């Protein structure tokens, strides 16, 4: 996990601010609280989904923009890690903003079996709202919540490709969280935060930014082709993602449609660039960092996770995503410099979880690893059928993993 800042004194200011807010969390809110003179005007938490700490050192010679700037100008905390076992998106983001382990913040996985309802529940799914996402399962307060307690004038926003990340980063009292809607290519929010979208968001979508990628394939940056073994990069030779660059986006249609917007999110680096553009519009439109009251913006970049799951952490595709994100972060930081001023902003860079190499890559490194084969899959699929033939019909497994012992005892 990496944490960086523009200026070295800023980390101390942020730590002092967090300690101050934590101590004051139980005190009544006073009218017109006065911000500390050295408090930052804006805190930006950047989470890069599924990026291992070693990526920053492994690819450092290739960085020229945002990652390089944060590494050179900020602190790097090397002895920092997630200590919970289920390192996934939801528990990772919840732990980062609450400072508590999943067992205490309430978000133990992306989804889990709820013995009370007998169903699998999602970390942020909530059918009381439209779209049906909210932080109702989050049991702990967050950095954004502490800011609101310290000074209700603080603005707290979050944005990501994923609703889980966006929702959890802003806590329960955030002004709004925004995420990418896969079937429309738009950034949306839930009426948990507000009943209608702000005018600036409507204007932002007047000409849909991502439509510029329609009719283009995902081609790698020139440096990716020459990376090779020096950076532990190998093309993936397995299905269903065994095909190499270039990668088409969407299907054979004459205009952008839901499959195109879905591919932008599920199998390309471009959703991260889109988030960077959206973040600049949000900062400017909501006037973040424009007064002495500390604001918070959480940004979670998701393409590394999506591409990492498909092609693995040693693929040319993953390297291309990382290098494009380096450019996006550089552009965003330059915008913040101009819009707010680097001395007024604290930036923290980290990740919610890491990733294992693909089994095929490990095998070539001499590691005893394999993928589930046809026989393994059929074994699982036929298990319930075997129980039905022996003991009779019934829903023998709950949520695909829990054996129904009560049903078994009744038979």
Which range has the top average pLDDT, 207-221, 231-245, 385-399? 207-221
Instruction: Please indicate whether residue 328 is annotated as part of the active site.
Output: no
pLDDT tens digits, 69-81:
999 999 999 888 8
State the pLDDT confidence band at 1, using cuts at 50, 70 and 90. very low
State the pLDDT confidence band at 6, using cuts at 50, 70 and 90. very low
Mean pLDDT taken over the chain:
89
In DSSP notation, 239-300 reads: SSS---S-B--S-S-SS--HHHHHHHHHS-SHHHHHHHHHHHHHHHHTTTTSSSS-EEEEEE
What's the pLDDT score for residue 242? 52
**Burial per residue of 338-359, b for 16 or more beta-carbon CB atoms within 10 angstroms, e otherwise:** ebbebebbbbbbbbbbbbebbb
Cα torsion angle, 113, 116, 122, 124, sign? negative
Question: Domains, the chain, ranges and CATH?
Answer: 8-24+38-364 (3.40.720.10), 374-410 (no CATH)
The answer, yes or no, to whether the previous bond of 364 is cis (omega within 30 of 0) is no
Which of 87, 89, 189, 304 does the annotation list as catalytic?
89
Q: Give the count of alpha carbons within 13 A of 211, CB side only.
A: 10
* Residue 258 Cα to chain centre, angstroms: 22
Helix (H, G, I), strand (E, B) or coil at 47: strand
**Residue 311, both tokens:** 């092609």
What's the pLDDT score for residue 23? 42
Tally of CB atoms within 10 A around 189 = 25
What's the pLDDT score for residue 336? 99
pLDDT tens digits, 317-336:
999 999 999 999 999 999 99
pLDDT tens digits, 15-33:
334 444 444 444 444 556 7
The answer, yes or no, to whether the previous bond of 68 is cis (omega within 30 of 0) is no
- Is residue 263 predicted with pLDDT exceeding 80? yes
What's the pLDDT score for residue 254? 95
Give the separation between CA 394 and CA 392, rounded to whole angstroms.
Answer: 7
State the pLDDT confidence band at 375, using cuts at 50, 70 and 90. confident
User: 200 Cβ partners below 8 Å, 6+ apart?
Assistant: 281, 285, 286
Dmax over CA atoms of the chain, in Å, equals: 74
pLDDT tens digits, 214-229:
999 999 999 998 888 8
Q: What percent of the chain has pLDDT over 70?
A: 88
């Amino acid at each position: 996990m990496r944490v960086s800042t523009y200026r070295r004194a800023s980390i101390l200011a942020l730590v002092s601010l967090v300690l101050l807010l934590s101590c004051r969390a139980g005190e009544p809110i006073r009218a017109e609280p006065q911000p500390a003179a050295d408090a930052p005007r804006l805190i930006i938490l950047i989470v890069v989904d599924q990026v291992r700490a070693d990526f920053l050192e492994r690819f450092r010679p290739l960085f020229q923009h945002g990652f390089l700037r944060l590494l050179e100008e900020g602190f790097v905390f090397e002895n920092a890690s997630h200590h919970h076992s289920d390192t996934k998106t939801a528990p990772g983001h919840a732990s980062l903003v609450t400072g508590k382990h999943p067992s205490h913040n309430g978000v133990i996985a992306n989804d889990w079996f709820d013995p009370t309802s007998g169903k699998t529940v999602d970390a942020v799914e909530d059918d009381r709202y439209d779209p049906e996402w909210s932080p109702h399962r989050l049991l702990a307060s967050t950095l954004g919540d502490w800011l609101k307690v310290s000074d209700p004038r603080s603005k707290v926003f979050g944005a990501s490709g994923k609703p889980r990340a966006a929702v959890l980063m802003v806590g329960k009292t955030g002004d709004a969280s925004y995420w990418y809607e896969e079937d429309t290519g738009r950034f949306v929010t839930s009426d948990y935060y507000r009943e209608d979208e702000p005018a600036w968001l409507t204007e932002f979508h007047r000409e849909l930014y991502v439509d510029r990628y329609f009719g283009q394939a995902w081609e790698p940056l020139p440096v990716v082709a020459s990376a090779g073994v020096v950076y532990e990069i190998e093309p993936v030779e397995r299905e269903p993602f065994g095909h190499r660059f270039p990668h088409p986006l969407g299907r054979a249609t004459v205009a952008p449609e839901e499959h195109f917007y879905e591919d932008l999110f599920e199998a390309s680096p471009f959703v991260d660039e889109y988030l960077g553009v959206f973040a600049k519009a949000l900062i400017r439109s909501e006037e973040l960092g424009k007064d002495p009251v500390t604001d918070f913006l959480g940004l979670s970049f998701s393409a590394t996770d999506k591409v990492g799951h498909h092609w693995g952490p040693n693929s040319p595709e993953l390297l291309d995503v990382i290098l494009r994100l380096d450019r996006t972060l550089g552009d965003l930081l330059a915008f913040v410099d101009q819009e707010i001023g680097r001395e007024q902003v604290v930036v923290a860079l980290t990740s919610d979880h890491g990733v294992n190499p693909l089994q095929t890559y490990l095998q070539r490194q001499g590691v005893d690893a394999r993928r589930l084969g046809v026989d393994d899959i059929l074994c699982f699929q036929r298990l319930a059928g075997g129980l039905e033939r022996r003991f009779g019909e019934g829903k023998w497994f709950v949520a695909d993993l829990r054996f129904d012992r009560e049903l078994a005892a009744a038979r």
